[in-house]
Amino acid sequence: MKYILRKLIYLFLTAWSALTIDFILPRLMPGNPAQIMIAKYKGTLGPQALQSLETAFGINVHQNIFLQYFSYLYRTVTGNFGISLTYYPSTVMSMISGAIPWTIGLVGVSTIIAFVLGTLIGINSAWKRESFISNISVPISIFFNSMPYFWFALLLEYFVAYLLGWFPLTGAFSAQMSGFAFISSVLYHAILPATTIIVTAFGGWILTMRNNMINVLSEDYIAFAFSQGLPEREIEFNYVARNAILPNFTGFAMAIGFVISGVLLVEMVFSYPGIGYLLYQAVIDLDYPLMNAIFLFIIIAVLIANFIADMIYVLLDPRIRGE
Amino acid sequence: MYYLSLIFKNKKSAVGICIFLFFTVIAIFAPYIAPYSPTYMGFAPLQASNWKHLLGTTVTGQDVFSQIIWGTRVSLEVGILVGFMTTIISTVIGLISGYFGSTIDEVLTAITNVFLIIPGLPLMIILAAYLPSRGMWTIIFVITITGWAWGSRVLRPQVMSLKKREFVSASIVVGERSSHIVFYDIFPNIIGLIVANFFGSAVYGVLSEAGLEFIGLGNVNAISWGTILYWAQNDQAMFSGLWGWLLVPGLLIALLGMSFALMNFAVDEITNPRLRKR
């Protein structure tokens, strides 16, 4: 219970930090971005939008900074992120909720595949240290790990989609389709972006799993299991891998952060209509309300994913439950 | 000397060091290696690879090969500087938090955990988008701010366990000052971790810089591998058949990242004998 409580406290602490970063940044920067925006959008935005911009960024407001902060917290917690400048008059909230399912689908599926694939190869390459897979898996994963995601995406786009024409260049679905045809076009469009994420993410899982396995292999109880004459498969998975996988769950925080960062860039390359592509548009168009809200949403998503990983960890490791 | 010979006996670190030296030479002698000035715009635009322009020319008539040679400097500098700054911050915080414990430790650990969970790139994007200037130092600052937490998280427990060892207790009993204990007793024992942290951060720096510049959040007029890719994407190099413009900078980024990662891996193997080949 104490463990869960501590995790919850961190969850709120981090969410609050992200909120505060969003509040402070526009106010900290010299050359107030809000003034630039207002000047830029003077002709195109209605007075109502301009006013919401002014309150959101704290200019021309006769309120002190603390009141501004609390009204900002209140607005955000109640889900009022204001109006998007580029997609005026759509609200930021509607833009984001349109993009989120695409990203969650892409990230969810490819993260799970990368995790399972990487962990299995990691187990195998630690178990058979002299095998072919073991020898090539380490240098290859190091290379994949230090390769820029977006560059690999660009190469796939050029060679597989453009030159060979096997897959669509950009987008997430074909227009004017419905039912089954629509679903298959969604899957078809997702293959290249998902491949990029899987290929660039599973190297890390191989390396950490391999290292953990090797550390566990030199424990005394493994030697004991061997001397008892247990079947090798059982030792490999039930004795070694089961213990070696634990640190991978605590490392999940880092991993999901990397995957999210990678996904943002991959979506930009493939013009995939998820959060990353929306963020890219927001950055290009200096759409600060949209940018701030996307930042918050990404962090909250990561926090939730982490919390789930922590809870799975409780189920896997009895030592934590005992505390 | 013993460690030096270990480093060169280890195949991974030897390869890593060779790649790294190769890039260092290119960066230092860029003006002599590059056939043309990287900013000169007088060539016929969008040429495919030929003997005069090995990797073709850009939309504005610049020689891609010369740009890539000059771009080595920025990537190398950013990698090394981010490595240094990140390592310094995470070492200081890890040492303070692990050595002094109590309230300081709790506050620092909380900050570290928050930075650990916040994903790097979104934070970098939002910081870089708000910052007024977009030079190399802005990028280094942004990457360092988002990247130090992992190092402290790794160092802290090591420092805590070292503090309980006899030789540290002995120093405390003798009445040595904290600074003496930290620098003479604890520091030498965590050097392996610190070096590994440096290489890991350098990889992170090289990749993050390329990513930020690719989005257009760097100085797009500077010459670096990230901005070369940015222009390649913006000017649709792909559809003009200029594959070299796209392929080579990314490959070099991956190789530079890999050389740091290989050295990191070797440090791991040297400090953790279990990982060595039996």
pLDDT at A31 over 60: no
Residue of A21, A22, A154 lying closest to B233 (CB–CB): A154
pLDDT tens-place string over residues A131-189: 787 778 888 888 888 888 888 888 888 888 777 778 777 776 766 667 777 777 777 78
pLDDT of residue A41: 66
pLDDT of residue B25: 92
What does the CA dihedral A302, A303, A309, A315 come to, rounded to 10 degrees?
-160
Domain A98-284 is of which CATH architecture?
Answer: Orthogonal Bundle (1.10)
Residue B82 CB contacts under 8 Å (≥ 6 apart), including other chains: B140, B143, B144, B147, B201, B202, B204, B205, B206, B208, B209
| Range with lowest mean pLDDT among B9-13, B73-77, B255-259 | B9-13
The domain defined by B56-271 folds into: MetI-like fold (1.10.3720)
Quote the distance between the C-alpha of residue A240 and its chain's center: 29
pLDDT at B252 over 60: yes
Which tokens go with A169? 């260049």
Please tell me the distance from the alpha carbon of residue B6 to that of residue B65, in angstroms, as a whole number: 37
User: One-letter amino acid identity for A106?
Assistant: L
Please tell me the distance from the alpha carbon of residue A36 to that of residue A51, in angstroms, as a whole number: 14
Q: pLDDT band at residue B88, thresholds of 50, 70 and 90?
A: very high
Q: What is the Rg, in whole angstroms, of the alpha carbon atoms belonging to chain A?
A: 24
Residue reference for tokens 């290859």: A140
| Range with lowest mean pLDDT among A64-73, A248-257, B91-100 | A248-257
Chain A neighbors of B117, CB-CB under 8 A:
10, 14, 253, 257, 299, 302-303, 306
Nearest residue in B to A134, CA atom: B277
Q: Which of B131, B139, B132, B262 is nearest to B206 (CA)?
A: B139
Residue spans per domain, chain B: 56-271
Q: Phi and psi at residue B10, in whole multiples of 5°?
A: -75, 120
Q: Which residue has the higher pLDDT, B244 or B277?
A: B244
Q: What is the Rg, in whole angstroms, of the alpha carbon atoms belonging to chain B?
A: 22
Give me the total of CB pairs closer than 8 Å, taking one residue from chain A and one from chain B.
155
Chain A neighbors of B262, CB-CB under 8 A:
142
Q: pLDDT band at residue B21, thresholds of 50, 70 and 90?
A: very high
Cα distance from A181 to chain B (closest Cα, Å)? 29
Cα distance from A178 to chain B (closest Cα, Å)? 31
User: One-letter amino acid identity for B121?
Assistant: L
pLDDT of residue B198: 92
Q: Which residue has the higher pLDDT, A61 or B229?
A: B229
Positive or negative torsion for Cα A127, B266, B84, B213: negative
Inform me whether the C-beta atom of residue A18 falls under 8 Å from chain B C-beta atoms.
Answer: yes
Please tell me the distance from the alpha carbon of residue A229 to that of residue A313, in angstroms, as a whole number: 30
**Chain-chain contact of B233 with A25 (C-beta, under 8 angstroms):** no
What is the residue-averaged pLDDT of chain B? Answer: 84
Please tell me the distance from the alpha carbon of residue A210 to that of residue A131, in angstroms, as a whole number: 13
Please tell me the distance from the alpha carbon of residue A283 to that of residue B218, in angstroms, as a whole number: 12
Residue reference for tokens 């989005």: B215
Residue spans per domain, chain A: 98-284
Q: How many CB atoms lie within 10 A of CB B198?
A: 23
ipTM of predicted assembly, 2 dp: 0.82
Full DSSP string of A6-64? HHHHHHHHHHHHHHHHHHHHHHHSSS-HHHHHHHHHTTTS-HHHHHHHHHHHT-S--S-
Q: pLDDT band at residue B90, thresholds of 50, 70 and 90?
A: very high
Inform me whether the C-beta atom of residue A190 falls under 8 Å from chain B C-beta atoms.
Answer: no
Cα distance from A137 to chain B (closest Cα, Å)? 13
**Chain-chain contact of B114 with A13 (C-beta, under 8 angstroms):** yes
Please give the C-alpha separations between residue B145 and each of B118, B119, B127, B205, in angstroms, as whole numbers.
11, 12, 10, 11
Residue B93 CB contacts under 8 Å (≥ 6 apart), including other chains: B108, B112, B148, B152
Please tell me the distance from the alpha carbon of residue B24 to that of residue B35, in angstroms, as a whole number: 18
Long-range contacts of the stretch A126-132 (C-beta < 8 A, 24+): A126/A209, A126/A210, A126/A211, A126/A213, A126/A214, A126/A217, A126/A240, A126/A244, A127/A213, A127/A236, A127/A240, A129/B277, A129/B278
pLDDT of residue A322: 61
Cα distance from A321 to chain B (closest Cα, Å)? 22
**Chain-chain contact of B129 with A291 (C-beta, under 8 angstroms):** yes
Q: What's the angle, vertex CA A194, arms to CA A102 and CA A186, rounded to 5?
A: 50
Cα distance from A261 to chain B (closest Cα, Å)? 5
pLDDT tens-place string over residues A249-288: 766 666 777 778 788 888 888 888 888 888 888 888 877 7
What does the CA dihedral A129, A135, A141, A142 come to, rounded to 10 degrees?
100
Highest mean pLDDT among A218-222, B77-81, B226-230: B77-81
Which tokens go with B171? 């120093």
Residue of A146, A269, A286 lying closest to B203 (CB–CB): A146
Q: What value does the mean pLDDT take over residues A228-243?
A: 85
Please tell me the distance from the alpha carbon of residue B105 to that of residue A96, in angstroms, as a whole number: 38
Chain A neighbors of B233, CB-CB under 8 A:
154, 269
Task: Tell me which DSSP letter residue B184 carries.
Answer: I
pLDDT of residue A149: 83
Which tokens go with B86? 């990140």
Which tokens go with A8? 């919850």
Which tokens go with A140? 């290859």
pLDDT at A208 over 90: no
Q: Phi and psi at residue A83, in whole multiples of 5°?
A: -110, 135
Model pTM score: 0.84
pLDDT tens-place string over residues A32-43: 556 666 666 666
**Chain-chain contact of A299 with B216 (C-beta, under 8 angstroms):** no
Q: pLDDT band at residue A190, thresholds of 50, 70 and 90?
A: confident
The answer to whether the CB of B219 falls within 8 A of the CB of B227 is yes
Full DSSP string of A126-172? HHSTTSHHHHHHHHHHHHHHTS-HHHHHHHHIIIIIIIS--S-SS-S
Nearest residue in A to B238, CA atom: A158
Chain B neighbors of A254, CB-CB under 8 A:
116, 150
Nearest residue in B to A13, CA atom: B114
User: One-letter amino acid identity for A302?
Assistant: V
Interface of A with B in 191-230 (CB under 8 A): 211, 214-215, 218
**Chain-chain contact of B239 with A154 (C-beta, under 8 angstroms):** no
Please tell me the distance from the alpha carbon of residue B10 to that of residue B215, in angstroms, as a whole number: 37
